Structure 1
Amino acid sequence: MVLRALHDQHGHLGIDKTYGLVQDRFFWPKMRETVEQYIKTCKRCIQRKTLPVKAAPMGHLKSNGPLDLVCMDFLCIENDSAGIGNVLVVTDHFTRYAQAFPTKDQKALTVAKTLWQKYFVHYGLPNRIHSDQGRDFESRIIKEFLSLLNVNKSRTTPYHPEGDAQPERFNRTLLDMLGTLPHVEKRAWSRHVEAMVHAYNCTRHESTGFSPYFLMFGREARLPIDLRLGVSSDGSRLVSHYQYVKSLKQNLQRAYELSTQSAAKLNERNKRRYDAKVKYREIQPGDKVLLRNLGVPGKHKLADRWKDILFEVVAKLPGLPVYKIKGPEGRIKAWHRNHLLPVLYSQEELQKGNEESENIFAPPVRGMEETVQDCNVERAKEKTLESTDRSNEWWMVLLLLLFFIYKAPAYSAALYKTLLSSHLPLLP
């Protein structure tokens, strides 16, 4: 095939470049359409060149109050002088109240001890804990630990941090804050984490309109400058316990309503901005898809963007853009829609396409000579037709000139010059 030689064996160039190569050498009817269709269905081009797109609308985790949903994640930083290079970040989804605990490793036992000793005994047990699919968060130790405490566990889909966005955003904020430390202090950054996190919790949050500290405890934190300048009014008047609880309840109820409304508006604005870039296409059970080539170790600039294994869609999780897919070995996995590429060919065709493209400088295929001859014959016929058309047009000009000479001799000389100059390129 011509296209196999000028596309598959010519570096898998794009439509315009491949069409240019073909056009310079051959001709057949609807040649451009043939080239486009061939390249759009090229297996190697699909695996390597098809860019991942946002294929599913944005979704949001929902919570109804403090400690209804707690998210956790690990932040990795270069080791400090104490050998600490990890931070376990725990964020309350409703209040945005965050805590960060430096650790030397990410082992499941370390996670369990830190949650119990530094979070649960201070703030109480959450209704649900949400994390990514890190092996330490999904280990048997964590499952049994949370099951013992009757705490529910949920997780994001693989390689989709948007499903657990709060820790990701806080991680960036914490890194920016630690990055402002003097060079000498950065060597012992773990000693500054608690103070940085407290400063974050005392600051009004964009999404809620309140500080995380206030939404968690019902009052603003008293800072050193408040005491020095006497600007804090907390404790300035005596009230009974009953009055304090009543006032606290009213204030928190109003604050929760306002923060929920503010967060909903921000989420809706972010969703509109995100969904504007989404090219959504629903996939159905039984459809064939490729899986995005993620988690490739080391440098992978030359790696295919999509794996060479064809998966079948089994089911869609209710209310989520997450699909269960089954590979050739029968194992079922759950993946976000953004990491799936619908295709129309079979596993055998995919493997055949990869095998044919292993050597892009392979010798010409059988039948190539006949194809070249046929195309050259077509081009010769086309040139003959063009030459005939030009000759016929020239004879029409001569007949028209003779007619005017016979009918109007006075204008014949000027007319002859005009026609000759305007049709000179038509001479055979």
Structure 2
Amino acid sequence: MKILGIKKTRTTALHPQSNGMVERHNITICHYLSKFVSENQRDWDKLVPLFLLSYRSSQHESTTYTPSMLTSGREMKLPTDLILGHPLEENQERYLPEFVENLRERLNRIHRFASEKLKMHSDKMKQRLDTTSTAIAFKPGDAVWLYAPKKTKGKSPKLQSNWEGPYTIIKKINDLVYRIQLSPRSKPKVVHLERQFFTNN
């Protein structure tokens, strides 16, 4: 992954906001499938290729490009293109080396522009989050209750206690993530701030 420039990150449990891009993509998939799946919902897997065709050929608001353009430097050929015909790019077949060089330059230009758009979009989302978030901070040694909803067969989730603890703050990893421990012999947990609303002061 290092050779490809991929940086692996970890997310905290029960906090989908920390993996927002993936969660948003999953929501998009479910939204699409829910519109076309049959009543018994057993054919959802057969609809995934159609979703991918639609998704990869649709312009994204954050980048202003389609995923197909970002990965291959050209738009996808859709069923309508096969029926009505799709014009070849100028001199594509006769001047292949020149076409490859132009494609490389086009991809670099598209990626730079898309990266700038993504950063602008990310900064806007962060600014919006900062204006709505409430400043809460714990320090090592503080005792907290951890939000940990349970699903027990035969019991109503609404009537169960969803809090565990008290846990002890072991380390502040950053402004939003803490390492906590239930007892000296228990395994520490890394959790998001939003799962630690209650203290037992």
TM-score (norm 1): 0.42
Contact kept? 2:150, 2:157, Cα under 8 Å: no
Correspondence for 1:301: 158
Amino acid across the alignment from 2:150? G
Distance in structure 2 (CA, Å) of the matches to 1:199 and 1:238: 28
- CA 1:239–1:314 in structure 2 vs 1: closer, same or farther (change >3 Å)? farther
Correspondence for 1:71: none
Shift, 1:195, TM fit:
1.9
Distance in structure 2 (CA, Å) of the matches to 1:195 and 1:235: 30
Correspondence for 2:168: 312
User: Identity of paired residues, percent?
Assistant: 27
Shift, 1:245, TM fit:
2.4
Contact kept? 1:203, 1:212, Cα under 8 Å: yes
Amino acid across the alignment from 1:306? W
Correspondence for 1:165: 20
Distance in structure 2 (CA, Å) of the matches to 1:310 and 1:169: 33
Correspondence for 1:401: none
Q: SS of the counterpart of 1:301?
A: helix
2:82 corresponds to 1:230: no
Runs (4+) of structure 1 exceeding 6 A deviation are none
2:132 corresponds to 1:277: yes
Amino acid across the alignment from 1:340? Q
Correspondence for 1:407: none
Distance in structure 2 (CA, Å) of the matches to 1:203 and 1:337: 36
Distance in structure 1 (CA, Å) of the matches to 2:159 and 2:191: 24
Correspondence for 1:57: none
Which of these two proteins has the greater Rg computed from alpha carbons?
Answer: 1
Correspondence for 1:254: 109
- CA 1:323–1:156 in structure 2 vs 1: closer, same or farther (change >3 Å)? same
Shift, 1:301, TM fit:
1.3
Correspondence for 1:200: 55
Residue 97 of structure 2 is aligned with which of 226, 242, 266? 242
Correspondence for 1:327: 182
Correspondence for 1:338: 194
Residue 180 of structure 1 is aligned with which of 35, 40, 58? 35
Correspondence for 1:90: none
Shift, 1:235, TM fit:
6.4
Contact kept? 1:218, 1:248, Cα under 8 Å: yes
The count of corresponding residues between Structure 1 and Structure 2 is: 195
Amino acid across the alignment from 2:76? A
Contact kept? 1:287, 1:342, Cα under 8 Å: no
Distance in structure 1 (CA, Å) of the matches to 2:82 and 2:133: 51
What is the RMSD of the two structures over their aligned residues, measured on CA atoms? 2.5
Matches within 5 A, 1:411-422: none
Amino acid across the alignment from 1:300? P
User: What do the CA deviations read for 1:267-308 (whole angstroms, capped 9, x no partner)?
Assistant: 22222333322111222222221111323435321233432x
The structure where helix makes up a greater share of residues is 1
Distance in structure 2 (CA, Å) of the matches to 1:200 and 1:323: 37
Long gaps (5+) in structure 2: none
Contact kept? 2:145, 2:196, Cα under 8 Å: yes
Distance in structure 1 (CA, Å) of the matches to 2:103 and 2:77: 16
Shift, 1:336, TM fit:
0.8
